[in-house]
Amino acid sequence: MSQHTFEQYAISPAVSKIVEGLGFKQPTPIQQQVLPAALRGESLIGQSHTGSGKTHAYLLSLLSQLDENIEDVQFVVTAPTRELAIQIHEEVKKAIQIAGKDQVWLSKLLIGGTDKQKMVDKLSSTPPHIVVGTPGRILDMVKEEAIDLYKAKAFVLDEADLMLDLGFIEDVDQILVRMDQEVQMLVFSATIPERLQPFLKKYLTNPTHIQIEDEKPSPESMEHRLVPLRHKDPADIIMDITKVIQPYLAIIFTNGKEHADQLADDLLSRGLKVGILHGGLSPRERKRMLKELQSLRYQYIVATDLASRGIDIQGVSHVINAQMPKEEEFYIHRVGRTARAGMQGTAINLYKDSDLPLIQKLEKKGLSFNFFEVKNGEWREVKSYNERQVRERPQSDLEKQARSMVRKPKKVKPGYKKKMKQQAEKNLKGLKRDQYRKKKK
């Protein structure tokens, strides 16, 4: 089988120099498909996971088409978070430096948390060829007439599903209505949720769809543990877990910022020192939190999916899912924060019966789960959900009727399950008595 090389694509001599300087030998699967399509000027939707080489897939193709003689914005790259935009811009600067085009190819980072007027003044004097930033700040600069994006050839929307979740898709829409309708659209997203479809249909006509399936959804040096919730308080279980693990840094994931705030409060009230990271924090708070994480002030951080993709956090040894995500891809992204650079990693998942369909899907993808609980300060292996299902005796129609007659209390108190079971047994006796009387008649 012939090996793919970067030379087979129509990249410019300057970009060949960048590829060599970055030490790239072979294009990754996403690069093999994005580069030729993007170089042909096609609009596309690319689906791939973190670490797939997606950023360079679009950067190399855009830099190949850059015309240094035109003093206009030629390419716009948008990212959902300041941190992600900074990372992308760092890669742009590195590429420009390797190409020896420091004074010729101009790029500008446009993000919030910086002096707006200074930014307007700088942009007004010399327009950059490449703009990288967050949608809100790019839109600000367009409205201030500091930059004109109408002549831009390509627009990149990175982490589109996260952009949607964080509520920035309206800003992206406002930017695009001010651009040429023929602009090349390069959309990258881990998932394509239904809510994203209207946006895609509005701006992409017959796009090339590229989907890269990961053969191994998580590193081999990764262990996946499942801990049953069984109506316990997640904060109590997490406190038990903290007594049996020694993390370098553990991220505790929740679904949404309200859940993150609540869990962080619950853990703090139990004496666990935790940081918090989600889209509801101000840019200043997020910057401070990341600095404190780097200085190892926290061993635990409660976070939303923003931390699984929008921000790169180093040194994560454990991922704890206080709530299982809704989709497989989000699980892959979360656990992908750990077991990096040869390190061992552990994912600990608090699960309910409603999470079993997701767990089964992940098992079909090749993930192997071990079932545990923490008892008396030690890990103890427990039976898996399918072993329990085999053990359970099928219920009779009368038993089902007896259970349906039991009302779950509005306020759940300790021991309520036992009371509900007793009530069901009482109902069953009554139903059996009624049945017996009818037969006697």
- 351/420 same-domain check: no
pLDDT for the residue 214: 55
Regions of the chain short of the pLDDT cut 70: 1-3, 49-51, 213-221, 307-310, 312, 339-344, 385-396, 408, 410-417, 436, 438-441
Domain boundary among 211, 239, 271: 211
- 303/253 same-domain check: yes
282 inside domain: yes
DSSP state of 156: E
pLDDT for the residue 128: 93
1 inside domain: no
- 383/410 same-domain check: no
pLDDT for the residue 310: 63
CA 214, CA 271: separation in Å to the nearest integer? 40
HSE-CB at 112 with a 13 A cutoff on CA atoms is: 16
Domain boundary among 211, 231, 248: 211
- 262/160 same-domain check: no
pLDDT for the residue 341: 47
155 inside domain: yes
For 372, the 3-state DSSP assignment is strand
Q: How many residues does the chain have?
A: 441
- 57/27 same-domain check: yes
pLDDT for the residue 254: 94
264 inside domain: yes
- 31/123 same-domain check: yes
Cα–Cα–Cα angle for 19, 20, 22, rounded to 5 degrees: 65
Domain boundary among 211, 246, 275: 211
- 318/196 same-domain check: no
Residue 246 belongs to a domain with what CATH number? 3.40.50.300
324 inside domain: yes
- 318/186 same-domain check: no
Contact 150, 119 (CB under 8 A): no
Could you tell me the residue range of the domain that residue 273 belongs to? 222-390
Number of domains observed in the structure of the chain:
3
CA 357 distance to own-chain centroid: 20
CA 296, CA 286: separation in Å to the nearest integer? 15
Phi-psi region of 283 (alpha: psi -120 to 50; beta: other; left: phi over 0): alpha
Provide φ and ψ at 188, rounded to 5°.
Answer: -120, 135
DSSP state of 7: G
217 inside domain: no
- 379/230 same-domain check: yes
**Can you tell me which residue has the tokens 């750990």?**
338
216 inside domain: no
- 289/425 same-domain check: no
- 202/178 same-domain check: yes
- 188/76 same-domain check: yes
For 320, the 3-state DSSP assignment is strand
pLDDT for the residue 280: 83
